[in-house]
Amino acid sequence: MRKVFSILLAGLLWISVASPAIAASEAYADTHLVPCASSPAFNERMQNAPDNYYFNTPYQSYAANLLCGADGLPHLQLRFDKALDVIIPFGLFFYVAGFIGWSGRAYLIGSNRIAKPEEAEIFIDIVLAIKAFTQGLLWPLLAVKELTTSELTAPPSEVSVSPR
């Protein structure tokens, strides 16, 4: 467990050490994207667009802030200086989805241990639900523990394979 934590910590430190100034100066070095204001295809699209608020405002914003490809359309480029803009929401989504799944799994496993498991699925057992929620908060650690002790996976002898 310590090895996994140390590798994760080292990776996070390695990613965060890159200087934003260096990353921003090298943003256009190895790409086919150019600022939209200097793209001839984008400028042609902007000239041919209808003259109203719904076209002018976005085109002006794109020209000032985004990068365009050879087709004249704005593209979003994921760079290391913008990686946290993707990693943080993905991490939060992954954690919440895992929390919901692990809590439900823990509740169903716990309800199978009582005398009438069918009733626990219809009438929620509050004590068992709170216990399942608290287990769900630590689901990444519990998943690693169950994966290393082979509680999470079924042995190959129990996995059915359909005949062909």
Does residue 159 or residue 77 have the better pLDDT?
Answer: 159
Residue-range domains of the chain with CATH:
24-75 (1.10.8.110), 84-151 (1.10.8.110)
Distant-in-sequence, close-in-space partners of 67: CB < 8 Å, separation ≥ 6 = 28, 31, 33, 34, 35, 36, 74, 75, 76, 77
pLDDT over 70 at 22, yes or no: no
Cα distance between residue 156 and residue 143, in whole Å: 19
pLDDT tens-digit profile of 130-153?
999 999 999 999 999 999 998 888
CB 111 within 8 A of CB 128: yes
Q: Is 35 in a helix, a strand, or coil?
A: strand
Does residue 42 or residue 31 have the better pLDDT?
Answer: 42
